Amino acid sequence: MCKITLMFDKLFKKKDIATMVAESDDSQGGLRRSLKVSHLVALGVGAIVGAGIFVITGQAAANYAGPALTISFLISAAGCILSALCYAEFAAMLPVSGSVYSYSYATMGEFLAWFIGWDLILEYLFACSTVAVAWSGYIQSLFQGWNIHLSEKMMMSTLDHTADGWVFTGSIINFPAVFIVALVATFLLGGIRQSSLINNVIVVIKVGVILLFIGFGISHIDTGNWVPYIPENTGEYGHFGWSGILRGAALVFFAFLGFDALSTAAQETHNPQKDMPKGILISLIVCALLYVAVTAVLTGIVNYKDLNVDAPIAVAIDKAGESLSWLSPFIKLGAIAGLSSVILVMMLGQTRIYYAISKDGMLPKLFSKIHSKTRIPHNATVFAGIVTAIVAGLFPLHVLNELVSIGTLMAFTIVCISVVVLRVTQPALKRPFKVPFVPFIPILGAIFCLAQMVSLPWNTWFRLICWTIVGFIIYFTYGMKHSKLNHPKK
């Protein structure tokens, strides 16, 4: 019985919040605090605005919501804001690297912190790989427009998963996907200031392209395409009508994912108590407004029935005729820029998770070593780049993207629950930013996320279970034995 009690104490021992904040002090040789609100907003927009705005808008309008997809985006944004408020409270209260991993360590104990940390590695690793593969597709399309044709043996994934199982495609590797990962990792090695500057430039480009489409597209809107604004339900739940709007909201929810990666940079923010909540919430609101505006223009130029394509904005430009044909290559460049910034922010988040877990002793020490000049975890960055490049080069898009959403939704759920737990267990803690109407808002946020998880297919859950089992093996064979919290002399 004593051994069981001792084991239980180790598994659920919590890290002291004051100790976590003290360890984040950059004067002690830690990460450099270089980011301000403007940088955080740019990082947030860089992480959120990616393929979703260029692809998912058309498919969701054509199959589920019609022109009323604008309402779907507002509903989805409201759901994300519930989770974002919880992130903001934690990021202000715990301005440390590690995001939900660190929050869980302070509220639920070591074992659950490891579980969510391993889950975050899954999210950021496969998000980077997924977007890198999508980037490869866009760059190939752009090259084809310039009559540049590359060898197919260097343009596709090595493996594919079909009804018959895993098969070789005949391609050596998806070289463009590997290339962009290597390039982004190189930028990250230059330090957080350089990475933030590059992200700012990319964000200006992609937001500029989106605003060009909105601005020039307004004059080509045919209001007849908005009638009926809410198409009549087909008789099947989720296909138009109000149920279609709700299903559309569930689909476009994933277009908002990425703001959570912002919280991993809390330890590198000048004034995280004030700036981090502003960065998270402002970036989410900006993206919601962009999504609604693009959807309104898109469904105004093209009838929603004709938007079930991979490049709906390109279809809208073609529909507008010669007057907008000049915008087509810029749309592709905007998509490429958008995907590039998503890779950058997601890989930044991945490296900071490795860093945080390593600092706690549950991953090898090399991942928490800080470069003397750039003050970033350089070993973690190199490792993240290598692993992401391998995954992006070998596996196809449809296999990679299944795991991203469930990992993110689980992280959102944990954060919402943690806010309630910490309000009960440690009510006296200083909270520079507070989620209003606790526990109503956190519980509603958790329910919203859990509902999305339940709707995901069994294959996705099976792969998550397999990933989790691997994580448990690593924890019980290495992490638990080297944990600094349970073995402070190590």
Helices (H), 311-327: 312-320, 322-325
449 pLDDT band (50/70/90 cuts)? confident
Q: Which DSSP state fits 35? A: B
H or E segment and range at residue 162: strand 159-162
40 pLDDT band (50/70/90 cuts)? confident
165: left (phi over 0), alpha (psi -120 to 50) or beta: left
Whole-angstrom distance, CA of residue 144 vs CA of residue 427: 59
Q: What is the pLDDT of residue 489?
A: 64
Whole-angstrom distance, CA of residue 191 vs CA of residue 349: 14
Q: Is the pLDDT of residue 8 over 70?
A: no
| Of the candidates 30, 47, 188, 24, the residue with the CA atom closest to the CA atom of residue 105 | 24
Q: Which of 13-17, 184-188, 422-426 is predicted least confidently?
A: 13-17
**Higher-confidence residue: 327 or 27?**
327
Helices (H), 96-228: 100-107, 110-145, 175-189, 192-217
| Of the candidates 97, 125, 15, the residue with the CA atom closest to the CA atom of residue 353 | 97
pLDDT tens per residue across span 128-138 = 888 888 788 77
Classified as helix, coil or strand, 412 is helix
Whole-angstrom distance, CA of residue 251 vs CA of residue 239: 12
Q: Is the pLDDT of residue 182 over 90?
A: yes
Query: To the nearest whole number, what is the mean pLDDT of the chain?
Result: 82
Q: Is the pLDDT of residue 149 over 80?
A: no
Classified as helix, coil or strand, 195 is helix
Radius of gyration of the chain (CA): 22
27 pLDDT band (50/70/90 cuts)? very low
The average pLDDT across 358-373 equals 89
Q: Which domains does the chain have, with CATH numbers?
A: 33-428+435-482 (1.20.1740.10)
389 pLDDT band (50/70/90 cuts)? very high
Q: State if pTM tops 0.85.
A: no
Structure tokens at 206: 């992609």
401 pLDDT band (50/70/90 cuts)? low
**Higher-confidence residue: 267 or 384?**
384
pLDDT tens per residue across span 97-143 = 667 788 778 777 888 889 888 888 888 888 888 888 878 877 877 77
* Half-sphere CA count of 310, side-chain side, radius 13 A: 6
Whole-angstrom distance, CA of residue 77 vs CA of residue 249: 9
Whole-angstrom distance, CA of residue 174 vs CA of residue 140: 11
Q: How would you class 215 by CB atoms within 10 Å of its CB: exposed for 0-12, middle for 13-18, buried for 19 or more?
A: exposed
Structure tokens at 81: 């804001």
Whole-angstrom distance, CA of residue 116 vs CA of residue 140: 36
Q: Which DSSP state fits 52? A: I
Give the max Cα distance, the chain. 79
Helices (H), 146-174: none
pLDDT tens per residue across span 316-359 = 887 887 888 888 788 778 878 878 888 888 888 889 889 989 98
Q: What is the pLDDT of residue 256?
A: 78
